[in-house]
Chain A
Amino acid sequence: MKDSYTLKSLAVLLENNKISSKELTSEYLKNIENGKDLNCYNTISQEKALIDAEKSDERRKSQNLRSKYDGIPIGIKDLFCTKGVATTASSKILSNFVPNYESTVTQNCDDAGLISLGKLNCDEFAMGSTNKTSFFGSVKNPWKSVNSDNELVPGGSSGGSAAAVSGDLCVASLGTDTGGSIRQPASFTGTVGLKPSYGRVSRWGIVAFASSLDQAGPITKTVEDAAILLDIISGHDEKDSTSSVNPKENYYENLNSDIKGMKIGIPKEFRSDKLPASTQKSWDECANLLKTNGAEIVDISLPHTMSALPAYYIIAPAEASSNLARYDGVRYGLRVKGNDLIDMYEKTRSEGFGDEVKRRILIGTYVLSSGYYDAYYIKAQKIRSLIKSDYVEAFKKVDAILTPSTPSTAFEIANEPSDPVQNYLNDIFTVPVNLAGLPGISIPYANDENNLPIGLQLITNSFEEQKLLNVAKNIEETINYSETPEKWWLK
């Protein structure tokens, strides 16, 4: 396996008949087999992937390609409904669920000829930032600290999606991001993770966590690949009422790393004494780099940043408590027999959901209850509006905002804080972006003193994905980050 594989490079190899889709798919299936210890995949679509690859090769022969990327295998977070392939949301309650329909995003991939290698592990119902809440067990980060042999979390909730790309168990993957679930694991694994603007990508057929925040996006090795995959998955979908009718751009074709004259904002509220020195250093360096490349660095203020996390942990659980009501044992998924309807509900949901999911359902139910609704839900919505207007103001002054992606690099699986609130702090830099509905991208910048990737986050105004990708490309080109994890799982 060549580490230089990207969507872009594979398209060229396929085009020049240097490799067939079947060979490529087999190679990745072998990597997946060899990488089982990473626990990235919940379902491996061995047979289907190979059949699909053969079909792609035939299309290539008959010059009937669906796109330039026809025949490239990718991984899919186990939150996207896939026809005939188990879709579990990494939850016991859906562990036996096989949809007879295909999500819009995965259909778009199929329409472009991409091949699914299987379904990637994630936090249960995308609730978590360590991938430890999965019913199928933790995903392991391909990276390890130089100072320890202990296994690290890959981040979450799209932990499988990020680890699989980082460990070459696929060249690119699909994730979803509700409060940082693409960007945080991308940051922890040295990959590129893009959360598009709310409404840019259809939510139809994706198991819902928090409908007003959920957004699907790519996790890739390069900014170019992120643009390529975004081109494939995005666009208006009349089946999703919140899908934007804003015309989408041709992100990859229009990619342009020239940032001369752009203004890049550094929000003072994201500064913290608790930020690791190496992260702070990367952030500062990156700002200087952008300045050197012709951008102007502007200090800005996003005054309500500190209220974002509390507001998020009211809004997201509130929506989740309602979204997850359908998992009741009546029509599909797990059913545990009970003496009567209520008993069946209680037993099914008690057994079917894990602790973190239950915790959020309880929080959500509580904050929507009469008597508490105004104090929590309404107040959180007001904060959300204030955060949105913070960014509206900021984007009057700057083109993009640069922040760290996460307050730390990947930590040991065994060291996950037992206090859930501590864990929630993992998303402190990413959550405001979801609340404001903006696009955000995490790109690897450097490795820290333990040789673990540090991710930086760029944010732009709604539907300015092009600008976001352009700035990211500029950084990527300049730093030429090329660190890869040592493949300890092969030993």
Chain B
Amino acid sequence: MVAQMIEDWNLVIGIEIHAQVNSKSKLFSSSPTDFGSKPNSQVSLIDAAMPGMLPVINKFCIEQAVKSGIGLNAKINKKSIFDRKNYFYQDLPQGYQISQYKDPIVGEGFVEIETENGQKKIGVERLHLEQDAGKSLHDQDPNFTFVDLNRSGIALMEIVSKPDMSSPEEAVEYVRKVRSILRYLGTCDGNMEQGSLRADVNVSVNKPGNELGTRCEIKNLNSFKFIHAAIVYEAKRQIKLIEQGESVNQETRLFNTQSGETRSMRSKEDAHDYRYFPDPDLLPLTLDDDWIKGLQETIPELPDQIKERFINEYSLSSYDANIIVSDKATSKYFEDVVKNRNPKLVTTWVTGELFSILNKKNLIIEDSPITSKQLGELVDNIENGKISNRQAKEVLEEMCESGKGALEIIDEKGLSQISDENEIESLVDNVLNSNPENVKKYKNGKDKLFGFFVGEAMKLSKGKANPKIVNDLIKKKLSQ
């Protein structure tokens, strides 16, 4: 739909992802980082910026950032500098955020995404480390704003893309891909609902051949749906402005998740002068080659590599492989099931029935009511012909409710499939003999009746007959 409206326009999209570093303690203090704790229960003297407090870098967060950089195929900078970004706000205790400005820990890299037109490389400009601020609560008291500093000082990675995306779909794919890589690496849990991963999206539009348009930044988008919707809205808004002969103002905008609209937050003129300067409390961060090499060796297989392997080892289609590897837990689940089994059948059951159950129940695969072992057992019984696909669905549903194993359910329900040809032949004969009229009509060309005979035979078997054998026999008998 966007494509229609903006047919004549180019979209230029760049994204800043703020990913919370998966770490038990904060970037410059030893406070814990658990989500949802009692307000101000995870605040050290440093996080509250008491007089005389000094930051000390958490080495684990550095490791996580470097690992992320490696996962983004990026240059690791052996020297980086922490700067102070100065501004006043009630939930920023120091009066400055420690961030990295001119010399980030990670330089240029890229990720590959799937698009309608195949693979596309999206450039990564940089990744830098910074502190999160606290949280202001405006709804606790009619006269006061309350401040919760639990988040204050938590490590964030800001991953800045190049303006390489040209559709909302590509933008979503990019964020998905980065999230997936970080989750594989274990450097960010990617939990968007809890705010562990959020995106600021820069959008501009221009006519092909013309100069780039003025961009607007939409802040703090915390779902794929919102990223998509915000870009669509923003692109349309900008196009409309230009088509009306007006111009786009460079500004920061907020997305209203209720109305699906963006509104101005502050214009470029109102932008803060953050007075960045190197934090004199911290020495430049230097990394040595051996240390980086050591980390490189700990990098697990990443989605792109696993995808390639799945295509080669299991002959998956690129499409199916992509779906399965997009999530670390899914690809592990798949691998657990597919071992020594028919990959095609396993793929169908994982991406089909299992995903649909998870979707319906709004569950992630880690919380799947059906274990990979259970699904494997089910697939085995399909594969050896004991149950039909239709029966298997029934078994899966029951499995989901009771948690029982496939065989147990098959026995209990008496679902075991009839595959004995003689037994089925007598069923088929029975059906054909009881319906001479329809047999005649069929032979005169009413092909559609084939399904009727199959249905009657299955009914007669209480659904247990192997449908393939039923089909074959009816075809054979009717062509005699």
- Which of A's residues lie within 8 Å of B, judged by CB? 80-81, 87, 89, 94, 97, 99, 101, 103, 203-208, 210-212, 238-242, 318-319, 321-322, 324-326, 328, 330-332, 341, 345, 365, 368-370, 373, 377
Contacts and interface: CB of A to CB of B under 8 A. Distances in A.
Nearest to A319: B280
Contact of B88 (A101, A103, A203, A328): A328
B137 interface: no
Contact of B277 (A101, A318, A326): A318
B95 A326 contact: yes
Given A368-B86, A370-B273, A370-B275, A210 B280 contact: yes
A204 B52 contact: yes
Contacts of B52: 80-81, 99, 103, 203-208
Interface stretch (B54-62, B179-187, B338-346): B54-62
A325 B88 contact: yes
A81 B45 CA distance: 12
Interface string B266-283: 000000010111001111
B51 interface: yes
Interface string B23-50: 0000000000000000000000100111
A369 B49 CA distance: 23
B56 A241 contact: yes
A89 B90 contact: no
Contacts, number: 95
A373 B277 contact: yes
B147 A330 contact: yes
B96 interface: yes
A369 B48 CA distance: 26
A331 B88 contact: no
A239 B56 contact: yes
Which of B50, B88, B93, B275 has the largest count of A CB atoms less than 10 A from its CB? B275
Nearest to A80: B52
Interface residues of B, number: 30
Interface in B254-306: 273, 275-277, 280-283
B48 to A, nearest CB: 6
Given A241-B55, A369-B273, A101 B86 contact: no
A304 to B, nearest CB: 21
Contact of B280 (A81, A211, A238, A330): A211
Nearest to A342: B88
A400 B129 CA distance: 42
Interface string B87-99: 0111001111000
5 contacts: A81-B50, A207-B51, A211-B281, A326-B93, A332-B50
Given A101-B50, A239-B54, A332-B50, A341 B90 contact: yes
B45 A101 contact: yes
Nearest to A97: B51
Contact of A369 (B57, B147, B275): B275
A36 B57 CA distance: 44
A377 B277 CA distance: 9
A340 B281 CA distance: 32
Contacts of B95: 322, 324-326, 328
Contact of B54 (A204, A324, A341, A377): A204
B145 interface: yes
B54 A365 contact: no
B18 interface: no
A422 B255 CA distance: 55
A242 B94 contact: no
B84 interface: yes
B281 A326 contact: no
B280 A326 contact: no
Contact of A322 (B51, B93, B277): B277
Nearest to A103: B52
A322 B92 CA distance: 13
B281 A242 contact: yes
